[in-house]
Every structure is written in structure tokens, then in C-alpha cells.
Amino acid sequence: MSIPLKHFKKGTPKPKLPEDGVLRLYLMRFCPYSERAALVLAAKQIPHHKIYIDLSEKPEWYTDYSPLGKVPAIQLTAVDGQPALVESLVIAEYLDEQYPGRSLFPADPLQKAQDKILIERLAPAVSAVYPVLFTKNPPADALPNFEQALDVFEQELTKRGTPYFGGQQIGMVDYMIWPWFERFPALKFVHADKYELDKTRYAKLLRWVELVAQDEAIKQTALDSQVHAKFMATRQAGEPNYDVAFEAV
């Protein structure tokens, strides 16, 4: 059954879906946390339905799946009671453990813990660059703080000595931090100085971006930076248009 390519809003009825036991992913197309879940589903080739949620005017029925109205949420339709999970890292780890195929997290408990810490270390970069991407008057120190936070990841690639954070193959760290690196190039479209990451300072990180962009799961979920910039312009104007994602489809 086909689900319309649109974000369900307040007042719109719940989509009719078949009781086929297929996972249901509730997401917003431009949400990086939603993309995390979508990436793991794509990487492990897990069948699922996508239901898009308008975060400005959430449909009343959405709290049945996400009590706080957050995305992503995933409904486990093949499990008794059809429970729903929220929080992107919780969803990612559950899918990695419960579904067959190559594990995206390392098997070693210590390395897995260190990888989860590294994922969390992206938070300062996200916090710093967020107002640059989505507001009209970001603080003057936003980009320097953003760069300082990204230095950690350039140094970590040097320390690991591998093309991916996951080693010789793409792994969970790569997928969990990618959604923001997909969005960072939009800075050259939304920032007055057409800002881009320094190619010398972030040589390994930019090479990593090129490699990850070639991954099949990434190709299935990624949007072009100009599409991201178009959405960011609607956010900056105070009228976010989530469905602009589908205009390029």
C-alpha cells in the first residue's frame, strides 16, 4: 500500500496501513535524528513503511507512538502489543541487535562503549552550527565553536588510521554522525560568506565524507545540500516547509 509523500499534520487522519507485520517508521524528512533510523533500516535492508510527521503541527494521533511527539519513532508491528520505540540511538541499537546481517556496532564491549561516546561528542558541533543553519542572526562565535568541535573527529580518524570510524567498513558511528555532515555543505548556500570546511584542517574528515557518500544506504536516504538549504530558508523565515523535500522527487 502506498503512503502519500507528505507530512501528516494536525487534523489529518491516521494513514491506513496493512497489518503485514512490517515495521513502521515515523519521521520528518529533514530531521537528522530520523535519518539515523532510516540509515540503519537501509543498511540492514529491513522492510518498513515510512510515515512523515509535520513537527510544527503534529497530528493528534501521533502521541500514540511517541508520547512526547518526537521523531523518530518506530512501531514494532510484529511484536505482541505493537510497541513503539523512540530516540534515534535506542532505535539504531535495537535494529542492529535484532535483525540479521553485518553488525554495525563493534562486538567488543569497550570499543562499542567508546563509539557511543564518540557519537555523543558531535553534540557541541551541532549546538554551535544549529543557529547558523536555522536562524537569521547566529552568534559571532558559532562557526569557531563548530570548527573546534569538529577537530575531535579529524583527530579520531588520524588516531584510528582507518577510512571509516567503523574501521575498514562503514559502521554505526559513521551512520550516526553522517546526517549532520550531509547538512554542513548547505552552509555555503545559507551563510553570507559561503562558508565551507577548511580542506587542510579537515583533510581526513572531508575524505571520509566523500567515501561515506558512496555507501548504498546513504544514497537511499540523503538529500542534496541545495534541498537542505531550501528547507533551511523556510525555517529561517519562520514557516518551515517540510514537504519541500518531495518537490525534488
Determine whether 8 is an active site residue: no
- According to DSSP, the β-strands at 23-27 and 48-53 are parallel
Angle between helices 123-134 and 225-236 (to 10 degrees): 70
Q: What Å distances lie between residue 95 and 62, 99, 235, CA to CA?
A: 22, 6, 31
Report strand pairing: 73-75 vs 23-27: antiparallel
DSSP string, 137-195: S--TTHHHHHHHHHHHHHHHHHHHTSSBTTBSS--HHHHHHHHHHHHGGGHHHHSTT--
Judging by beta carbons within 10 Å of its beta carbon (0-12, 13-18, 19+), is residue 167 exposed, middle or buried? middle
Q: Where are the beta strands (DSSP E) in the chain?
A: 7-8, 23-27, 48-53, 73-75, 84-86
Q: Which of 27, 31, 173, 190 is catalytic?
A: 31
**Strands (E) located in 105-146:** none
Side-by-side strand order, sheet with 23-27: 7-8, 48-53, 23-27, 73-75, 84-86
Distance separating alpha carbons of residues 119 and 115, to the nearest angstrom: 6
Alpha-carbon span 109 to 124, nearest angstrom: 25
Residues marked as catalytic: 31
